[in-house]
Amino acid sequence: MDLPTRTGPDPAPVRPAPDPGPSAAPAVSARRLVKTYGSGEAAVRALDGVDVDFAAGAFTAIMGPSGSGKSTLMHCLAGLDTVTSGSVLLGGTELTGLSDKRLTRLRRDRVGFVFQSFNLLPTLTAEQNILLPLDIAGRRVDRARFEGVVATVGLADRLSHRPAQLSGGQQQRVAVARALVARPEVVFADEPTGNLDSRSGAEVLGFLRESVRTLGQTIVMVTHDPVAASYADRVVFLRDGAFVDELSGPTAESVLDRLKRLES
C-alpha cells in the first residue's frame, strides 16, 4: 500500500504511539445525534440519529457522499453548531445546551481547527497566526512546543511572512501548526487538502498523521478524497445523516471500494 502520494518528509524519530487501549474513554462521542434545518414541510434532517465514538490519540476520517452530513457532524462535534437532539461529549463535557460563550471558550481552549481555505488572517504574520489561539486565550506560549511544531511543518524560515507571501501548501501548514501548538484535545480538519495540489496535500496529511504518532494528538478529519482518508487509522462512513459503516487501517482502494458500495 505504498501510495505515490506519500512523499512527505521522513517522519521524525518514531516514538511508540501512546496506546489508547480499548478501555480508554473516547475523545469525542455522539449519541443519537439529530440535526434538522428549517421547519415543517421544508425541514431537512442533516443528521438522523448518529452514534459514533472517536478514539483519543487516533486519526479518524469521516467520509460519505455529498449531502451525507459529514460536515454537519463535524460542526456539531466541534461546538460550532447546535444540535437538535441527542448528545455530544467532548473529553467528558456535554456540549449540548452550552451557551455560546461556553462553546466559544471550549473551542478556544480544547479544540483546534484546520479549514479548507481562508484559514489565516491576512493582517498577521505566519507566527502571529500560529499563536493566535493562545493569544485569544491569553495563554503563555510554550516556546519549545512552538519551535517543535514549526520545525515539524518546516516553516522555521517563513515565520515573518504574511499569508499573501506564502503558497497554498505553506498556508495550510501554518494552519496545521496553529491547530497543534495549543495542545488541543481534538483537532478538527475540514477538507484540509481540498484546495491543494497532490504533493502539498500529501505533506499536510503527513504532518497530521505524524502528530498523532509522535504527540498522541487526536484528529477528526472530514474528507471526500479516498487517498486522504487512507492516512487515517480509521474511516467512518455516513449516508443520509446516519452512521453506516467503518473501516480500520484503510487504504485508498479499500475506502474507494466501500464508498462505491455505499453509493450503489
Partner 1 sequence: MLRTTLAGLRAHRLRLLLTGLAITLGVAFVSGTFVLTDMMGASVSRQLAGSADRFDVIVLPGESEEGAERTEDPAIPADVLAEVGAVPGVAAAAGEIVAQTPLLDADGRAIGFMPTYGVSLPADPELLRYPVVEGTVPTADDEVALDTGTAEDTGFAVGDRVEVLDADQERHGFTVTGLIDLGANAMAAIGGGVGFAPATAERMAGGGDFAEIHVLGAGGDPAELRDAVAAALGGGYEVVTGAERAAALVEASGGDNQVLAIGLLLFALVALFVAGLVIYNTFTILVAQRTRELALLRCVGAERAQVFGAVLLEAAVVGLLASAVGVAAGIGLGAGGYAALSAVQGDTPIAPVIGWHTVLVGLVAGTVVTVVAALLPARRATTIAPVAALRSQPETDEGRRAGAVRIGLAALFAAGGTALTWYGIVLGTGGTLEPGMLLVAAGGIVSFLGVLAIGPNLVAGLVRLLGWAPARLLGVPTRLAVANTRRNPRRAATTTVALTVGVTLITLFAVVTASLRASYDQALEDRYPVDVLAQPQMSAEGAIPREVAAGLRADPAVRSVVEVRSAEARLDGTEQRVAALDGAELADIATGAVAGDPAGLGPGTVAVAEDVAAAEGLSVGDTVALDGGGGTGELTVVAVLEPMDLPVPGVVLAGTDFDRYFGADHPAERLLVSSADREDSSAAEAAVSGALAELPAIQVQTVDVMRQEMTAALDQLLLVMAGLVGLAVVIALFGIANTLTLSVVERTRESAMLRALGLTRGQLRRMLLVEAVLISVIGALIGVVLGVVFGWAAVVTAFTSTMSGEVLTTVPAGQIGVFLAVAALAGVLASVLPARRAARDSVVAALAGE
- Residues of this chain, 160-179, that bind partner 1 according to CB under 8 A: 162, 164
Q: Measured from the CB atom, is 178 or 213 closer to partner 1?
A: 178
Q: How far is the CB of 98 from partner 1 (least distance, A)?
A: 13
Which listed residue (12, 121, 141, 151) binds partner 1 by CB under 8 A?
121
237 lines the binding site for partner 1 (CB under 8 A): no
Contacts of 58 (CB under 8 A, 6+ apart): 20, 212, 218, 219, 233, 234
Amino acid, res. 248: S
Spatial contact of 50 and 29, defined as CB atoms under 8 Å apart: no
Q: How far from the centroid of its chain's Cα atoms is residue 72's Cα?
A: 13
4 lines the binding site for partner 1 (CB under 8 A): no
Q: Which of 118, 126, 183 is nearest to 150 (CA)?
A: 126
For residue 96, which phi and psi values (nearest 5 degrees)?
-65, 135
- Structure letter (DSSP) for residue 234: E
Which listed residue (104, 160, 167, 248) binds partner 1 by CB under 8 A?
104
For residues 9 to 48, the per-residue mask of contacts with partner 1, x marking binding by CB under 8 A and - elsewhere, is ----------------------------------------
**Binding-residue total with partner 1 (CB under 8 A):** 28
Which listed residue (50, 64, 69, 75) binds partner 1 by CB under 8 A?
75
How many other CB atoms are there within 10 angstroms of residue 191's CB atom?
Answer: 20
197 lines the binding site for partner 1 (CB under 8 A): no
Q: Measured from the CB atom, is 79 or 250 closer to partner 1?
A: 79
115 lines the binding site for partner 1 (CB under 8 A): yes
101 burial type by CB count under 10 A (0-12 exposed, 13-18 middle, 19+ buried): exposed
Q: Which stretch binds partner 1 (CB under 8 A): 4-12, 21-29, 128-136, 224-232?
A: 128-136
Bin 144: left if φ > 0, else alpha if -120 < ψ < 50, else beta: alpha
Chain residues binding partner 1 by CB under 8 A are: 71, 75, 78, 80-81, 100-101, 104-105, 107-109, 113, 115, 118-119, 121-124, 132-133, 135-138, 162, 164
